Amino acid sequence: MKIVVIGAGIIGVTTAYEFAERGHQVTLIERREGAGLETSFANGGQLGAGEVAPWAGPEVPGQALRWMGRADAPFRLRLKPDPEQWIWLLRFLMRCRASARAERVLPNLALALLTRARMEEITAKFASAGDPILFDERRDGILQIFHTAHSLEGAAKEAEVMRRAGLEQRVLTAAECVDVEPALAPALQKGGIVGGLYCESDGSGDAHVFTRELAARAEKMGVRFVAGADVESFETEGGKITGVRTKGWLFGGDAFVLAAGVGTAKLARQLGLRIPVYPLKGYSVTVPAMGPAGEGLAPKVSMTDEARKIVVSRLGERVRVAGTAEVSGYDTTLEMPRARSVLAGLLDLLPQLGAQAEQAEFWTGLRPMSSDGSPIIGQAGRFSNLYLNTGHGSLGWTLAAGSATALADAICGAPPRLELSPYSINRFSFI
């Protein structure tokens, strides 16, 4: 088959790779100059099966109201004269129920565990061929830190559901958190940490490096990577898409996968398809791990601070912190007060990194967030050869390899490692 994949972020690159591995002819089209330069560029780095619950929850509307008007608020809403935004917000609000949140945990977990298994296979394959993919991977687990007994109890209940589905997590006291991550010692002394939830089998790594390196290997396997090409329109005939057009080029194919992150909704609209995916802006800050504080005080374990709404990952000689969620359209302006609030969260949690703050690198990106917190994967709309792999929101790195392999199985008619119906666009009742 001839497969055309649009978008070379972590989702599009893993998708292209899966088809190449199955012996298909793949064209991967990307508007930027290389792979992984948009949202997959500097994310929080977490590969976190233990943290796959959707962001929409009963506490969110109240928090959003409390944080209104605060420049450093972890969540910010900027209303636009844009029906796409209002409809998405309405859908998101309708999901702010405990039952709606619980409904998506197991489908997301299944994808995360498949991703874990698939990444293991992919990295082992290249390592054994003497061409390892080095992406600052760490397998030291992810530690969630809690500041109230109530939030720790809630998380422990959710962890119990996941344990029954095959993911072990341990509830820790505050002192045990420091045993797992000695870099938390100064934070423990300050007080405020009541305990943690530790998922030892989780990990972290640099999503951009992995995306870039896998794209290079996919090219060697025969994938035609067309960079600097913005897909503008589609050619259709009857119930099928026959090609995609960029400036001056037409790319034909048998199957077309839209994996264009926050650009997917616009492309899908041309094909008469409305998808409930909207940008959720976030920030990350990267600082050197080492400094006068010395290696002993730099974190090794990836962490999530539930109260500060940040995630922290050690990426080789760097520490990255990511956070904030802003519903403000497609604007990618880096607002320094927002970016600095994420850095402040890091320094509050790990004050020993203060000296490194001067060398901080700031970044912002748009999470392609579906309204219910699960990705949309599979055939969609009235064109029988149109497929979506998008809407991974805050979990794109954690769910990418699983989403790609499940979709490739479905399109190729291979025995599925994962049933795709829970991720179908048809789960949304109004579009």
3-state secondary structure of 136: coil
Q: Are 410 and 420 in contact (CB under 8 A)?
A: yes
CA angle 124, 126, 128 (to 5 degrees): 65
Cβ burial 147-164 (10 Å sphere, 16+ → b, else e): beeebbebbbebbeebee
Query: H/E element holding 320?
Result: strand 318-327
Contact set with ligand FAD (CB under 6 A): 6-12, 29-32, 37-40, 43-46, 207, 230-231, 259-261, 263, 267, 282-284, 311, 322, 365, 367-368, 390, 392-398
Rg (CA), the chain: 21
Cα–Cα distances (Å) from 51 to 19, 106, 141, 286, 304, in that order, read 28, 11, 12, 22, 9
Residue found by looking up tokens 């004269």 in the block: 81
Residue found by looking up tokens 């007080």 in the block: 191
Alpha-carbon gap, residue 371 to 84, rounded angstroms: 12
Question: How far, rounded to the nearest angstrom, does the alpha carbon of residue 322 sit from its chain's CA centroid?
Answer: 12
Outline where 129-148 has alpha helix (H): none
- Our CB check for ligand FAD shows the closer of 45 and 276 to be 45
Candidates 18, 86, 87; CA nearest to 405 is: 18
Which residues neighbour 207 within 8 Å (Cβ) at sequence distance 6 or greater?
Answer: 10, 36, 40, 41, 43, 45, 135, 396, 397
Q: How far is the CB of 15 from ligand FAD (least distance, A)?
A: 9
Pairing of strands 46-47, 203-204: antiparallel
Query: H/E element holding 105?
Result: helix 98-128
Cα–Cα distances (Å) from 220 to 20, 167, 215, 226, 300, in that order, read 10, 35, 9, 14, 34
Candidates 30, 7, 10, 51; CA nearest to 265 is: 7
Candidates 56, 52, 50, 7; CA nearest to 28 is: 7
Q: How far is the CB of 168 from ligand FAD (least distance, A)?
A: 20
- Our CB check for ligand FAD shows the closer of 146 and 397 to be 397
Q: How far is the CB of 184 from ligand FAD (least distance, A)?
A: 19
Which residues neighbour 186 within 8 Å (Cβ) at sequence distance 6 or greater?
Answer: 297, 350, 351, 352
Phi, psi of 366 (to 5 degrees): -110, 110
Q: How far is the CB of 323 from ligand FAD (least distance, A)?
A: 7
